[in-house]
Structure 1
Amino acid sequence: MASSSRALTRLAGPQLAPRAQMQVPAARAASRIASITTTSSARKFAAPSARLPRTQQSQILSRQFRRTYADSAPAAPVKKRKVRVFRWLWRLTYLSVLGSIGYVVYDGYVARHPEDQFVPDPNKKTLVILGTGWGSVALLKKLDTENYNVVVISPRNYFLFTPLLPSCTTGQIEHRSIMEPVRQILRHKKAAVKYYEAEATQIDHARKVIKITDNSEIKGTITENEVPYDMLVIGVGAENATFGIPGVRDHSCFLKEIRDAQAIRTKIMDCVETAAFKDQATEEIDRLLHMVVVGGGPTGVEFAGELRDFFDDDIKKLIPDIADRFKVTLIEALPNVLPMFSKQLIDYTESTFKEEHIEIKTKTMVKKVTDKSVEAVITHPDGSKETVTIPYGLLVWATGNALRPIVKDLMSQIPAQKDSRRGLAVNEYMVVQGTRDIWAVGDCAVAGYAPTAQVASQEGAFLAGLFNNMAKTEALENKIRELSSNLNLKPGNTAEITQEIETVEKRLRRTRDVKPFHYSHQGSLAYIGSEKAVADVAWLNGNVASGGKLTYFFWRSAYLSMCFSTRNRVLVSLDWIKAKIYGRDVSRE
């Protein structure tokens, strides 16, 4: 006992107190008892494998924790993935909406707060542009007005997006949504441009002056004047051709200007309300509700489709008593409608018109028009001809172009134009043949292409590049003359000036290298009613022909993108939404 106490004292060290030394054996005994009790209870309640020898336990554990591989990857949580996709779509949607709203607001601010303009040098050449159609506006849009004194003359102080004009006749689109004021366009040019709301009545080619007349209802003290020019661009378009058929100009409606669309809209509702008048005769109702369209081109086809939609979607719901008597007839002198489209799309259009109960009379020539009927000659497949009388309430003439008087007068002054019949003959640079300082674009020019808005727009853009290059060429030539005159003024600088002259001459050769105009056909579009459209679009080395409801959405997006400004796009979009929600407006005015 004494030896064990001495051993404990040696282990504990001198720090242990005598009392602590006495408590060590008791504490050690208690810990041994507790460990024995715990071990026995753990063995009692442990798993069977825990009571096995250690070698067997390791084998069991290795089998339990062995890495295994599944036959396929675990399925991802579908709900979480869908939620994540919708979350990103929602973010993309509202960010796009916010971005679009911000862009529209910014564009409106820029339109309302244009930068200051400066007056061009009066010593520069005067460039006069006649008309505010597709060709003239495309020229103005890309022309650098700093290089010339630009003057625009037109009786129409706005640009009209003509492809959507048929939609204005039925209230699908308001007419001001497809109009862009010319002064709004000119105000955003760097150099100021003069505009005269007048009609050019005569061009004196020898004196290089243009006679203009104020044809507005309110006139000042000066109603006629002359405008001199150094360079002239004629973009006055064409008139409606009647082909000398009696009664066409007196009794039919045309579809070229805003006032034409307004007149057609008024007459449509006049026919409808008169047909609904009390105790109206059945034959008279049938006549009033028979709408005849002459011309199977895109304008005539789109107007017929819009007219059918107007009655099916709106008039039939508001005046169901007479709606079933409504009828649309399309007259075309050629063997088929839409001759510029592929055969596949022509057949699709004709079958769609048949479903919509729009009658197509091809190989039919109008011979006479009265206030209530059309006399026409139909050529049957066997070659026989039949004269028919077609009663109508509304007649729309949507075919043919004729020369304006100012173009005819100019052609009579130029000997090189004596053989031209359809307009001013131009060369590959749009220069009027027989002149050096007159160019022509659009329907008044004969360049070997179809008279369409697409052709006129590309011609105007080509002329803008040509005029910009001409101004650069003149500036470079003046610089070469100036350098050449200073060549021997300062001793020792001959080599330096000579090198600069060579550099300017290289730039001059590149600037003069202007390729002739070449039309690039982007495709043809036409709306055929019932929210269907046809498209013949150029793609790579061929064309893609399509038709149906998906093409209708493409037609809308294409026309929307071709609108002149963001303002027009917003207004047209709002008109489409309004018509879809509330229907077309059936008021007379």
Structure 2
Amino acid sequence: MASYSRALTRFGAAATRLSVAEAVRPYANFATAAATTTATTATTSYATRPVLPSSAILSSARGPVSLSRQFARTYADAAAPVSKKKPGKIRTTFKWLWRATYLSLFLGVGAVIYNGYSDRHPEEQFAPDPEKKTLVILGTGWGSVSLLKKLDTANYNVVVISPRNYFLFTPLLPSCTTGNIEHRSIMEPVRQILRHKKAAVKFYEAEATKIDYERKVIKISDNSDIKGTINETEVPYDMLVIGVGAENATFGIPGVRENSCFLKEIRDAQAIRTKIMDCVETAAFKDQDSSEIDRLLHMVVVGGGPTGVEFAGELRDFFDEDIKKLIPEISPRFKVTLIEALPTVLPMFSKQLIDYTESTFKEEHIEIKTKTMVKKVTDKTVEAQVTNPDGSKSMITIPYGLLVWATGNAVRPLIKDLMSQIPAQKESRRGLAVNEYLVVQGARDIWAVGDCAVAGYAPTAQVAAQEGGFLARLFNNMAKTEALESRIKELSSNLNLKPGNTAEITAEIEGLEKQLRRVQDVKPFNYSHQGSLAYIGSEKAVADIAWLNGNVASGGKLTYLFWRSAYLSMCFSTRNRVLVALDWIKAKLYGRDVSRE
């Protein structure tokens, strides 16, 4: 009986070992694979490799040890043909895109550093020939600077006269009023521009007070706070380009000039920024009257063009994104009203973009009052005449804390005086009438560009820039023409001095004459409209872009990105682009600067 029990016990133990071995077979294979995969070189698959039966394992002299080796060998045979998968196309694409991003960033930083170095270390300039003609350029706006940028100053004695010694990128001026961009970021020193010309250019920071076109002299005066012993003098010219722009038009409305803020110069943007914070801080003053708070926080913008619309959008963003967080108790009472005498805002845009702008302003709680003409302005109210839908007219009074006047241009006194001297300009009202080559009608050797000229185009920065570029090509061609004519005259006089050389000289003269005809073939100025852009707030913009034979109209957040990229590309220098981009990033991360000064 005892021997039977012992046999039964052995049989049970063997059966137990068998069942355990069979049960752990998959896990044993997996566990031993990690230690044996790198060492094995077998190529036989698991499907073709014989597996020992359980009885053979049980009869093995070493028992479980043989079982482990068999499991390891079997799994190694099965795992051997498995190769590492190749990365997919998407992963490879992203890898190369990542590398391209790093490379672009590296090249971009290198380009900025090189540009900064070249700006600080310009090439040496040479003094122009005093025998050459004197070209005087008045102003440092879009037209004048575009002319200087492309003009070969080696052909003339160039003199620049302007009351400001910088070029201002005016499209981003509304962003300066709310601290989204610092004013220094959109200014380019004129002397920095002139320092990179081949021939030296003289610059005088002065105001041109009179142009005597008969004597061909310009009277200038020093209008700075610090004056020397000589405050007024005269500058003679052989050729004159007038690009002094225009001043703000008040249309003779009482109180506009005394009580309004304009938006044409840097000092205007600074004054608006100061007054905005004055209104905010005064409205937050302890125990301030409720009606006075409503008046102080009511910002009125007159003018529905791009400047007025962009300023209204920037103002609304400023309160929604910054003031609302810092002074939440007064932010719900903030209000923006846009007044426009025409039936719609942005009249130069397509109908669908006008509708989109008006609907966006409605969402932003910006009130638009069209067909409304301002009649009088006081220090606290605007009196306006509204044309009702039925054609009737009524008067309204609008209290305000800040009034920004962004509509219309007026002729400067300098231009009025010149027009009075030229009989052919008697009928002109909006500026100097010019012909198709931008020559001032009735005068000789005088050209005009920009807002002070009447060439049949809208007074925009885009028009002025193209006019300046046209004049640069014209003046460069005129210099080439004179050089070619002089050379032809010299060769013609020496034609019979050297016998046997007549054929060569004649061939050279013919070549110069052909070149002269090409240079003289200058077509009249023709403005090419590239499109219109405007920011409308809430990180949205509208764009009406010329494309092929038609226009492409778009609006929204993607257009806003296009608006930013377009304005960055239009900035005068790499320095301006870097500063503007950094200002945008700073405002996005830390908010706008709400300091008063």
TM normalised by structure 2 equals 0.86
Q: Secondary structure in 2 aligned to 1:454?
A: helix
Tell me by how many angstroms 1:487 deviates: 1.4
What is the Cα deviation at residue 77 of structure 1?
6.1
Match of 2:199 among 191, 200, 207: 191
Residue 492 of structure 1 deviates from its aligned partner by 2.5
1:395 aligns with 2:403: yes
Tell me, which stretches of 5 or more residues in structure 2 are unaligned? 1-49, 52-83
Residue type of the alignment partner of 1:395 = L
Residue type at the aligned position of 1:355: E
1:7-156 superposed matches below 5 A: 80-156=88-164
Distance in 2 of aligned mates of 1:333 and 1:119: 53
Tell me whether 1:497 sits opposite 2:505 in the alignment. yes
Is 1:350 aligned with 2:358? yes
* Equivalent of 1:297 in 290, 302, 305: 305
The answer for the alignment partner of 1:523 in structure 2 is 531
Alignment partner of 2:163: what SS? coil
Letter aligned with residue 180 of structure 1:
E
Q: How big is the shift at 1:488?
A: 1.8
Distance 1:492 1:532 in 2: 75
Q: Deviations over 1:548-575 (max 9, x none)?
A: 0000000000000000000000000000
Partner SS, residue 427 of structure 2: coil
User: Cα offset for 1:502?
Assistant: 1.4
Residues in 2 aligned to 1:497 and 1:363: alpha-carbon distance in whole angstroms:
72
Closer, same or farther in 2 for the Cα pair 1:146/1:382, shift >3 Å?
same
Q: Which residue of 2 aligns with 1:584?
A: 592
The SS at the match of 1:324 is: helix
1:553 alignment partner in structure 2: 561
* 483, 506, 516: which one aligns with 2:491: 483
State the distance in 1 between where 2:274 and 2:540 align: 26
Q: Distance in 1 between matches of 2:437 and 2:563?
A: 32
1:87, 1:531 → 2: CA distance?
32
CA distance in 1, matches of 2:443, 2:86: 74
Is the counterpart of residue 506 in structure 1 residue 490 in structure 2? no
Residue in 2 that maps onto 1:457: 465
Distance 1:412 1:77, change over 3 A: farther
CA distance in 1, matches of 2:482, 2:547: 39
Query: How far apart, in 1, do the equivalents of 2:419 and 2:88 lie?
Result: 75
- Check 1:365–1:78 CA distance in 2 against 1; reply closer, same or farther (3 A cut): farther
- Structure 1 residue 227 displacement after superposition: 0.2
Distance in 2 (CA, whole Å) between partners of 1:271 and 1:545 is 37
| 1:81 shift after superposition | 3.6
Amino acid at match of 2:170: T
Alpha-carbon separation, structure 2, partners of 1:364 and 1:100:
49
SS in 2 for 1:200: strand
Q: Deviations over 1:256-301 (max 9, x none)?
A: 0000000000000000000000000000000000000000000000
The answer on 1:277 being equivalent to 2:285 is yes
Q: CA deviation at 1:491?
A: 2.1
Q: What residue number does 1:170 align with?
A: 178
Of the three residues 285, 288, 295, the one matched with 2:296 is: 288
Structure 1 CA distance for aligned equivalents of residues 155 and 89 of structure 2:
60
Identity of aligned residues (%): 85
2:338 corresponds to which of 315, 330, 354: 330
Number of the residue aligned with 2:583: 575
1:495 Cα deviation after fit: 2.5
**1:160 alignment partner AA:** L
d(CA) in 2 for partners of 1:97 and 1:498? 57
**d(CA) in 2 for partners of 1:450, 1:107:** 35
Matched with 2:377 is: 369
Give the residue type in structure 1 aligned to 2:522. V
Q: Tell me, what secondary structure is at the counterpart of 1:320?
A: coil
Whole-angstrom CA distance in 1 between matches of 2:520 and 2:97: 52
| Cα offsets for 1:223-248 (capped at 9, x unmatched) | 00000000000000000000000000
Tell me the equivalent position of 1:33. Answer: none
Q: Aligned to 1:321, what secondary structure does the other structure show? A: coil
The corresponding residue for 2:438 is: 430
After superposition, the CA RMSD in angstroms is 1.3
Structure (1 or 2) with the larger CA radius of gyration: 1
In the other structure, the counterpart of 2:38 is none
Q: Which moved more, 1:272-281 or 1:88-97?
A: 88-97
- For 2:274 and 2:551, the matched residues in 1 are separated by 40
Aligned residue number for residue 263 of structure 1: 271
SS of residue matched to 2:346: coil
**1-side partners of 2:416 and 2:254: how far apart?**
22
Please point out which of 226, 231, 244 is paired with 2:239: 231
Deviation per residue, 1:47-74 (Å, 9 max, x gap)? xxxxxxxxxxxxxxxxxxxxxxxxxxxx
| 1:218 corresponds to 2:226 | yes
The Cα shift of 1:79 comes to: 5.9
The aligned residue for residue 405 of structure 1 is: 413
Q: Distance in 1 between matches of 2:116 and 2:576?
A: 12
Mapped partners of 1:431, 1:86: distance in 2: 57
Give the match for residue 214 of structure 2. 206
Q: Give the direction of change, closer, same or farther, for the CA distance of 1:520–1:77 in structure 2 (3 Å limit).
A: farther
User: 2:169 — aligned with what?
Assistant: 161
2:428 is matched with which residue? 420
Q: Match for 1:308 among 313, 316, 327?
A: 316
Unaligned 5+ runs, structure 1: 1-44, 47-75
What is the count of residue pairs matched by the alignment? 517
SS in 2 for 1:465: helix
| 2:248 pairs with 1:240 | yes
| C-alpha distance in structure 1 between counterparts of 2:89 and 2:596, whole Å | 55
Whole-Å separation in 2 of the counterparts to 1:341 and 1:78: 53
Give, in angstroms, the shift of residue 582 of structure 1.
0.3
Shift of the alpha carbon at 1:493? 2.2
Shift of 1:501: 1.4
2:396 maps to a residue whose letter is V
Provide the secondary structure at the position in 1 that maps to 2:135.
Answer: strand
Q: How far off its partner does 1:86 sit? A: 2.4
Take 1:490 and 1:82, find their aligned partners in 2: how far apart are those partners? 76
CA–CA separation in structure 1 for the residues paired with 2:249 and 2:289: 35
CA distance in 2, matches of 1:264, 1:572: 20
The letter of the residue matching 2:554 is S
In the TM superposition, what is the alpha-carbon distance from 1:78 to its structure 2 partner? 8.9
User: Per the alignment, in what secondary structure is the counterpart of residue 140 of structure 2?
Assistant: coil
Q: Per-residue CA shift, 1:79-111, capped at 9, x if unaligned?
A: 644432222121011101000000000000000
**Paired amino acid for 1:550:** L
SS in 1 for 2:488: helix
Distance 1:86 1:420 in 2: 62
* Equivalent AA in structure 2 for residue 503 of structure 1: G
Shift in CA distance, 210/88, structure 1 to aligned 2, threshold 3 Å: same
Please give the alpha-carbon distance, in whole angstroms, between the structure 2 residues aligned to 1:517 and 1:82: 51
Distance, in Å, in 2 between the alignment partners of 1:578 and 1:501 is 62
Q: 1: CA distance between counterparts of 2:396 and 2:389?
A: 16
> What is the one-letter code of the residue matched to 1:221?
T
